[in-house]
Chains A and B, each alone.
Chain A
Amino acid sequence: MRKSREELARMGSEELKEILRLDSQGVEEYSTEDILYMLDLIVQREKEAGENHVDVEAAWCRFQREYLHREEKTQAPVHTPQVRRWRLPRSLGATAAALALVFVGLFTAHAAGWDIFGGLAKWNDEIFTFESLDTETPMEGESVESTTVSGEPSQQPELLTPEVLEYDTLQEALDACGITEVKAPTWLPEGSQFQTAERICNSDGTLYELYAKYECQGELLVINILPSNQSSAYVEKVEGNADIVDIHGQMIYVIENINNFTMAWETSGYECYLSGSNQQILEQMAASMLN
């Protein structure tokens, strides 16, 4: 039974996801606006759940208490020359401790996914990307305008079928696109089988993606090569840092997901993503692509 927005707002995220799942299967119960509203709710809740509220006041009080406690202990014997000699090192010590805390904070924030020192890639506890993570998420109550669309068929909104060209190897696809910055892997794990290499383009020939797939003992090995001139892909990841390895002088990010790894790197003009379940195999494949 269709629920009102108030009722939807009271429902749990899992129930909303179930409605969305049913909707995606064609059960037409809710309008587009309602679906967007539910998506907004889920996104907002996930965003809010991710915000770990810090009791700044308590931290401040605790710091003051601990700091003042030290001051009280050192202030009493302040008239003796021996204590005076200690005051300078003590203040230096406090400075050093504070700076150490700042650095610990920076490194921990770095470990939590903020590539503060690198500045090349960005990640948080959910996704990795080569672009900024500052993009806005949809907000509740955002206005929706109706649109008058021209009557010409070509002006109607439409779903286009991308032009997909298949090749016998990834290297053939790369050569056909004139891509010299990326090479196909020359090493593959024993028993792996080539599945497909596809060039996916717009109708005017604009390249969207090169995609290659291999199968090794029932596991997928996937290569996605995307032009990096407009946007950057998002890679799902588990909590924690993305590792960085250097292979033949190329900085490669190793991103761990629940049951797989992705190795990501950027050349001039392209983003390369190599995904599979075995990190060692991926590293060897990446090395053969960069050799």
Chain B
Amino acid sequence: MKKRCVVLLLMVLCLVSAVGVQGYAVQPRASEQIISYDATLSRNGSGRVHVGFMIQCTAKMDVLGTTSIVVQRFNGTDWVSEYTFNIREYPGMQTQHQDHYSGIVAYSPSNPGSKYRAMVFFYARNSAGSDTAVKTTNSVIV
């Protein structure tokens, strides 16, 4: 019985190992346009949320920056979107003919004392094509 348990344990370990091997063999993505990107959420002295973002591209792009920044609040159960900065209302979220761009958006939270985070959607386009990326910031109680 003991031996059977050991054998079973070993078989399970082997299966977990095999699943581990195949499970992480995901499709390649990479980017011809984007090298790196970052987004950080912080609280300034007056209680406003500041979301700073940065995108570094492989060369000068026709367009680069963010398409939208969604500020979210944790309501105790879920993250709910509270405000969205989008390119139509804030065209300065993107620039042209640069390889690097950074910016900051500021927002006054509707529920001070809650935990906030932001989802930043990056975008870059040149003659070879375009690419998008998304990063969720750290969360901060504001």
Minimum Cβ distance to chain A for residue B104 (Å) = 4
The count of residues in chain B whose C-beta lies closer than 8 Å to any C-beta of chain A is 86
Instruction: For the complex formed, measure the closest distance between the CB of A2 and the CB atoms of chain B, giving whole angstroms.
Output: 15
Select the stretch in A31-39, A76-84, A281-289 that faces chain B. A31-39
Kindly count the residue-residue contacts between A and B in the assembled complex, taking CB atoms under 8 Å apart. 268
What residues on B are CB-neighbors of A125 within 8 Å?
24, 26-29
| Contact across chains for A104 and B21 when beta carbons are under 8 A apart | yes
Number of interface residues of A (CB under 8 A): 93
Q: Tell me the complex Cα distance, A35–B106, Å.
A: 21
Contact between chains at B63 and A24 (CB < 8 Å): yes
**Residue among A104, A147, A159 making CB contact with B85, cutoff 8 Å:** A159
With both chains docked as a complex, state the minimum distance between the C-beta of B129 and any C-beta of chain A, in angstroms.
10
- Determine the distance from Cα of A105 to Cα of B133 in the docked complex, in whole angstroms: 30
The CA of A135 and the CA of B45, in the complex, are separated in Å by: 27
**What's the Cα separation between A145 and B86 when bound, in Å?**
16
Q: Mark B11-51, 1 if CB is under 8 A from A, else 0.
A: 10111111111111111111110111111111011001010
Choose from A51, A106, A208 the contact partner of B40 (Cβ within 8 Å): A208
SS class, residues of chain A in contact with chain B: mixed
Q: B107: which A residues are within 8 A, CB to CB?
A: 157
Q: Which of A36, A46, A232, A235 contacts B68 (CB 8 A)?
A: A36
B interface with A by C-beta (< 8 Å): 3, 6-7, 10-11, 13-32, 34-42, 44-45, 48, 50, 52, 54, 56, 58-59, 63, 67-68, 70, 73, 78-88, 90-94, 99-100, 102-108, 110, 119, 121, 123, 125, 130, 132-138
* Extra contacts besides A105-B17, A232-B38, A236-B36 (13): CB < 8 Å: A23-B88, A26-B87, A26-B91, A43-B134, A56-B19, A59-B15, A98-B10, A125-B24, A135-B136, A142-B80, A148-B110, A220-B99, A239-B28
